[in-house]
Each structure stands twice: as structure tokens, then as C-alpha cells.
Structure 1
Amino acid sequence: MHQQGEPIPPFEELRVPVAGGGLTVLRWPGTAPDAPVVLALHGITANALSWARVARQLAGRVTLLAPDLRGRAASGDLPGPYGIAAHADDAAAVARELGLTVPVLAGHSMGAFTAALTAVRHPGLFRSLLLVDGGVGFPAPVELDPDQLITAVIGPAMRRLSMTFPDRAAYRAFWQQHPAFGADWSPWADAYVQRDLVGREPELRSSCRIEAVRTDGVGLFAPEVLDAIHQLPCQARLLWAERGLMDEPQGLYDPQRLTAAGLDPERVGTRLVAGTNHYTVLIGEQGSRCVADELLTLVTDVR
């Protein structure tokens, strides 16, 4: 049970059997025995602690479960095959193994695409979805090869995976220079990035397996992944950030892009989270509060 580094709320680490081994899942328990449950999936080079600030905002009103996805952090030892479908099946396995009764499924970035595909591949397992700055895709530019495509999707994050760092302070300093954090650097961001480190000083590195990230990044453009948002068997909400991965003014989504995506408004509701970027929509104070509020609405929706 994690107790140090407050304000990160205490969590349990579970090891849940999935294909090929065990998936590590963090669990922030609700204060009531019958508290509603949310299963939350992180982004392509992230880890389960990206959801810690949301757990704090939920304040025990919900049991929040967040896995380190296959090939990341404490699940880094899980072998392939990787890909969005593999993550979707892992999420379904977690829900079944832990006996979750129709929980809400949430996802950020790649996790949002995974959540949508999970709902399609495993209908009836989840009551509704919360998609955070992801889940609605666009066809890949045909002129880009796979590595160029990955760079276009996640940019400097891919280069980070091949770097080494002499100590944890150096990794912290690397992230503090990231334009998406800037003045929003916090203990939450620090705990999240420190969970990513593996190895020993002076050669610490990211836990993310490059093969997994490459496979997953290309997989975001697979037809079944792009089509999932249009095939959902349940209701979904999309929270989209105003700004992008590098805090640039153009975010992943805007009203024009969402209109062009042709979403069914009866199935997928959308909401702008102003003043946030792709990271702070989940890890920042304002963004995490909006995510928690939406989750509380979804877990009490009786439709």
C-alpha cells in the first residue's frame, strides 16, 4: 500500500492474470463497500499514476482501478503481442478477473482509443465510457512510413524512450522543461514521471518498451480502432483539451474536427475543457476536477 509522497492518495497494487502473465493494476478503494467502480486506461507512454490526481478528486466516492498497460511501468515485463486490441482484451480480462459489475470505462489519449475498442470487442461489460482527449481518430497520411507516423503522433516522447538519465533528479528536470507542464509542474506530475523509470543509476531509462509503443502507435490508425467510436454499444462522453501535446494552441480536437468526424450526438457527447492541454486535462488541477466530475455523473446515470 502506497503511503508516501502525499498528496498522492493511498493505493493498492494488484497483479491480475492476463494473456502471457500478470498485469499490474493500481486500486484506489472507495470508502463505501458498494462504491461504484471505474476502470481507467492511460496513454501511449504513460502509466497508471497519470490517474492519481483524478483519484484524489474522487475522494473515495468511487473505486478507481488503473492498470499499467502491457509494456509499461510495473507491467513492462508482459510480452507481446502488443497493439490496441491486446490492451482492449487486457482491460476486459481485468474487469472479469476482479468481478467488476458493469463499471464505467475511462481512457486518456491512447487509453481512450483502447476504451472505445474494448466496448466494441466486449459489449455489455461496461456501462458507459469517458474518453479524455482521445478516442476519435483520423485516417493516417498515406505518405508517412510507420516511424514517421509514430513521430507525428507522439513527437519527442518517442525519442525519450531511447535516452538514459544519471538519476531521478535529471529525469525530473527533463520533464519540467516540457512545454505541456511548465508552470503546472506538481507533485502529481512528479509521481507520474518517476513511476516510469527503471534500471539503476547512472543509467535510468523509461520503462516503456519501444516495440510496444511503436506497435500501439501504428495501431491507432487501424480501421477497427478508427471505427470503434462509431460502433459503440453504450453511451460515451468525450472531454477534449483546448491545447495540444506540446501546449500548442491547436489541440487534437476542435469543433471543426469533431464535426468532420461525424459522431452520433445521441451516443457520444463532447465537452471542451478550456485552459488545458493534452497532459493537464488529466494531471492538472482543473482538468482532473472535470474528469472526476464527469465520472461521478456517469457512475450515477441510471439510463
Structure 2
Amino acid sequence: MNRTPRTAATTRPEAGTPVREELRVPVRGGELAVSRWPAEDPAAPVALALHGITANGLSWARVAHHLAGRMTLVAPDLRGRGGSGRLPGPYGIAGHADDTAAVADALGLESVVLAGHSMGAFVAALTAVRHPRLPTALLLVDGGVGFPVPADLDPDELLDAVIGPAVRRLSMTFPDRDAYRAFWQKHPAFGGSWTPWVDAYIQRDLVGEEPRLRSSCDREAVRVDGVDQLREEVSGAVHRLPRPAVLLWAERGLMDEPQGLYDEHRLAAANLDPQRVRPQRVSGTNHYTILVGDEGARTVARNLLRAADARGTSGPGAVPSG
């Protein structure tokens, strides 16, 4: 397989925001779309960042803004989403982990700070286990730590209960881009957090032609990946990490409800090794705004820089959210 990446586009945004390069990286079955926000110094550290189950790489754009050229940020559209929406299966978290390693190899990245949000955090943890020489540190953002689920609950039922609204939109069509924007602006998790970064991330999801635009996310990829997160190989990867990690967790949930994915009780039940994973609550955020909101993205960027600075040390460390 030819592992040479090619540059598909370069976006030069408004003054004060970083340039984004779009690359095409050869992987199994085709090419993965990859966004890269290069640092001002070519020798600067690199973060390889992975998105959530129905998201795309532009969900990390606000973080790139707050990195302000101090670190290169690389964020692929995972197989079955965004610009990688037509890549074939088989899907699954292990496949995403190997795609992530292929991106690092193609871009000549021998070591990175490995980061992931939501499902991407599970991918990051499994990537670290399967490719232990790649990460120097890990940053898990509201994901990556599994917790017990009722034994009698069908996995597909659980997936619908947790991310049902996100999955249901995959069968919807929209007459134009304004209609899709309006759909998302009504989402309770975004509230007053709608910005050009959010808009670009949301619009990247659309494919097709008016008046039948639809999400780029492959429904089978979403289903397989969602159920796959429940397997012990995936949910238990956080207990087998070869490098220290910080877990940033949002205090509110996917629909901005008071109960988030994590809280002190759930994290205690997860029995994390404090020498390997250090949880840090990010106040005032929900599952989405911890990454795309201004304060959430600022906190994520601070912790990426801290992780890069702490390479080779024994403790994971964390930068407070305030």
C-alpha cells in the first residue's frame, strides 16, 4: 500500500485563526480525510486527536484555535464519517485504532500526545494499547472510561438510550444547509455556544444534494462502533495504558442534562489506577461544549500543551479548568 499522504486542500480562515490543511492518507480500503493545523515551529510537539461517534475532525477546530500555533493538531475524520464517510468496513474501535496508527506512520509522527473525545477517547485508549510506542501521553475528553451496564439490556437498546437523538438524525434528510443549521441550533447542549467553529464542524457532516442533504455518518459504522465500546477489550483498555492519561469530564450530559456521563461515584466505581489516569472535572460544560465551547476548548488546549511539556515524566498532571 502506498502510505504517502497527499494534500487535498488548505483553508486560510479569518485573521487570528490557524490555517487548516486537509490531507488524504492511504488506509485499508481507500483514503482517510485528515485535518492538520500546523504549529508555527515545525519542531513543535504534535497532538493526534480523535472525534466522537457521529462527529468529524473539525470538532477539534476550537481547540486548534486555542493552541495558537504552539502545537500541531492532527484530527482525522474517522472511517465512516465526514470526508472518510465512504471508506468501507469492517468497522470497530480496533479498526479506528489501526487507522490512527496508519495516519501517524504516513505523516512521519514517531510520538504524539494522543487525545480523544467521547468514542474517540475509547479509540485513543485502545490505540495506546495496540501501538504503545506511539503516545507520549494521553488526554481523554468525556470518554474512554466504561462503567457497568445492566446484563439484560440489549446493546442496541443501550446505544439508542445513550445517543438516540444523534443516531436518529442519520435517517433524516434536509432541504438545505440552513435547515441543518437550524436543526442543530435547537439542540439543548449548544445553547449559547454556537460559533463559526461549531458551524463549520456541523456543516462538514452534510453530504448529498439539495433538497436531500443528509449526514455523512454511515449508520452501520455508528452501530458497530457503539456496540463495540461495550466489549472488555475496548472498555478495559483504560486499565492497560502504557502511558499516563488525564481524563477531562463534563459535569453535564449529551442533552445538557444535569447528569453527565461521569461523576465522582461512577469514576470511583471504575476503579481507575490513580498513577495512570487522573480525572479532572471541567465545570460549566456538557458533553459537547467541553470540546467545542470556548472554555472547554481552552481547557483541552491547556492540557494538551501540559502533556507535551511533561513528556517523559512519571505523573499525568492536569491543568485546572479555571
Question: Per the shorter chain, which TM-score range?
Answer: over 0.9
The Cα of 1:274 is off from its aligned counterpart by: 0.1
Q: 2:22 maps to which residue? A: 13
- Shift in alpha-carbon separation, 1:6–1:242, aligned structure 2, 3 A: farther
The Cα of 1:20 is off from its aligned counterpart by: 1.3
Q: 1:278 maps to which residue? A: 287
The Cα of 1:139 is off from its aligned counterpart by: 3.1
Q: 1:70 maps to which residue? A: 79
> Is the Cα contact below 8 Å between 1:139 and 1:221 reproduced in 2?
no
The Cα of 1:135 is off from its aligned counterpart by: 0.5
1:244 partner letter: G
1:265 partner letter: P
> Is the Cα contact below 8 Å between 1:7 and 1:187 reproduced in 2?
no
- Secondary structure of 1:288's partner? helix
Matches within 5 A, 1:260-271: 260-271=269-280
User: Please, which runs of 5 or more residues in structure 2 have no aligned partner?
Assistant: 1-9, 314-322
> Is the Cα contact below 8 Å between 1:245 and 1:278 reproduced in 2?
yes
Q: 1:38 maps to which residue? A: 47
The Cα of 1:18 is off from its aligned counterpart by: 1.1
1:226 to 211, 235, 240: 235
Question: Matched residues in 1 for 2:71 and 2:13: separation?
Answer: 21
**% identical equivalent positions:** 69
The Cα of 1:3 is off from its aligned counterpart by: 2.3
Question: Matched residues in 1 for 2:62 and 2:16: separation?
Answer: 9
Q: 2:264 maps to which residue? A: 255
> Is the Cα contact below 8 Å between 1:108 and 1:131 reproduced in 2?
yes
2:113 to 104, 109, 115: 104
- Secondary structure of 2:75's partner? strand
Superposed CA offset, 1:126-160 (max 9, x none)? 11100000000123322322331221221200000
Superposed CA offset, 1:165-197 (max 9, x none)? 000000000000000001111111111100000
Matches within 5 A, 1:1-303: 1-4=10-13, 9-302=18-311, 303=313
CA RMSD of aligned residues (A): 1.2
- Shift in alpha-carbon separation, 1:67–1:6, aligned structure 2, 3 A: farther
- Secondary structure of 2:125's partner? helix
> Is the Cα contact below 8 Å between 1:8 and 1:53 reproduced in 2?
no
Number of residue-to-residue matches in the alignment: 303
Question: Matched residues in 1 for 2:14 and 2:188: separation?
Answer: 24
Question: Matched residues in 2 for 1:156 and 1:6: separation?
Answer: 36
The Cα of 1:9 is off from its aligned counterpart by: 3.0
> Is the Cα contact below 8 Å between 2:18 and 2:69 reproduced in 1?
no
- Secondary structure of 2:135's partner? coil
Question: Matched residues in 1 for 2:247 and 2:90: separation?
Answer: 28
More displaced, 193-202 or 10-19?
A: 10-19
The Cα of 1:236 is off from its aligned counterpart by: 0.4
2:31 partner letter: G
- Shift in alpha-carbon separation, 1:295–1:154, aligned structure 2, 3 A: same
Question: Matched residues in 2 for 1:209 and 1:191: separation?
Answer: 20
> Is the Cα contact below 8 Å between 1:153 and 1:217 reproduced in 2?
no
TM-score, normalisation: structure 1 = 0.98
The Cα of 1:7 is off from its aligned counterpart by: 6.8
Question: Matched residues in 2 for 1:145 and 1:33: separation?
Answer: 48
Superposed CA offset, 1:10-32 (max 9, x none)? 21111111111111110000000
